[in-house]
Each structure stands twice: as C-alpha cells, then as structure tokens.
Amino acid sequence: MSNYKDLINNSDVVFANSKSNSISLKRLNEIVNDQSYISFIDKICNGGYFYDRALQIYSIKTDKEYNNIFRINQVIADEYKEIVEGIFFFAQEIFSNQFGFSKEGIVFFNIETGEKEVVANNFDEWVDVILDDISYYTGQNISREWKEKGGLLELNMRLCPTKPFIIGGEYEVDNLSSQTFPGYISSNANIARQIYNLPDGTPVRLKITE
C-alpha cells in the first residue's frame, strides 16, 4: 500500500468507511475484479478528492449523487449507452474525463469524444500512472488556477470548456466554466454522441446544449 501514501497525503476530502458499507462493498465485488481497489475502498478510504479537488475517487456508500459510484455509473450508461459498454467507472479528473475498469484494463475515457485509452492493468498500476503525471491525469494545475481566480471548486462540480476542446477550445481557465452533476456528463455526452466513431476529416456541425 506504499504507493497510496502520496495520494492520501494530497487528499482534500476523504470519506470514512463504516459497517453500513458492507452491502455496497459486496455489490462492488460482484462488478470489479481488482482486489487492490476493493481493499483501498474498504480499508483506506471510501473515496474522496485529491490534488486540489482535481481528482475524485467515487464512494460506494453515500447519499450524495455526485459521489455515489453506482449512481454515477448509471448516469453515464444512460447518456453514453453502447459507447461505454463493459466499463465501470471509479474516478474522474478535473474535466470529468473518467477512469474505469474494463476487460482490457483501466481505461482513461474522454467524455467529450468517447475515446478510450488503456492506461494501467490494475488499480495499483493506475495510482503509479497518476503519480507519474499528476497534471495530465488529474488537472491539478488547472484546479489551482481556478481556485486563484474563481474560488474553490464545489464537490459536486467539474470544469467544462465554453468552446469545446474538440473544436479548438483552449485548456485555459478563461475558456472554462463550472458545471454541477449530472450536467457536466450530459453536456459532454451530447458532443460525444455526435462525433463518436466518425472517420477522421468528417465535417461536423456540433449542436451544443446548455
């Protein structure tokens, strides 16, 4: 568990485990075949926020929809349908791009495009990947800039581009606004459904929803 030390040391908010988590933990065990992750959630912390709230690891037992792993996965499945088939998400970064378990390993899911990249074989490897490039995989640098200019990001919020990244929007605070759950998932899914699996170079006129 030594590779969790830096993660925990950079936590902003963590949620405690309790005996009432047992039913949810059993349900999680039926979905996820990764004992290092199960142990982390069961023994170390029931999810939380890390690196200036840029990285969120979902909780298994909570009455807050924006942090409930089962509710979040249901929302994503409803919005993305076959695009996310076979993936169970457990964390997100500042722009609400998701990390999820799949049969290929842990994937980094771009919620604006629907693209998926395998980044680790298991949870322990995933933690190492995060630590190797914290800014890229969490967006901590952006979160810090946002805090300096706009205040602390609320727990139910993520940052979304005013001009979508896919059409040249900048990864800068001036091009970002905060959205609450589940709005940030819905707005990105609207874009992903329009462009997913289109051949490169296909002209697209995006219909952007508020």
Q: How far apart are CA 21 and CA 25, in angstroms?
A: 6
Tell me whether residue 172 is in a domain: yes
Task: Quick: pLDDT tens for 168-201.
Answer: 999 999 999 999 999 999 999 999 998 887 777 6
Total count of domains within the chain: 1
Tell me whether residue 176 is in a domain: yes
What residues make up the domain containing 41? 2-195
- Return all residues near 86 (Cβ < 8 A) that are at least 6 apart: 102, 103
Question: In Å, how far are 27, 38, 75, 92, 200 from 179, measured between CA atoms?
Answer: 30, 30, 15, 14, 30
**pLDDT value for 150:** 80
**pLDDT value for 3:** 80
**pLDDT value for 70:** 97
Phi, psi torsion values for 65, nearest 5 degrees: -55, -40
Task: Quick: pLDDT tens for 107-159.
Answer: 999 999 999 999 999 999 999 999 999 999 999 999 999 999 988 899 999 99
Query: Residue 166's domain is classified under what CATH number?
Result: 3.40.1580.10
Tell me whether residue 203 is in a domain: no
Q: How far apart are CA 49 and CA 66, in angstroms?
A: 12
**pLDDT value for 171:** 96
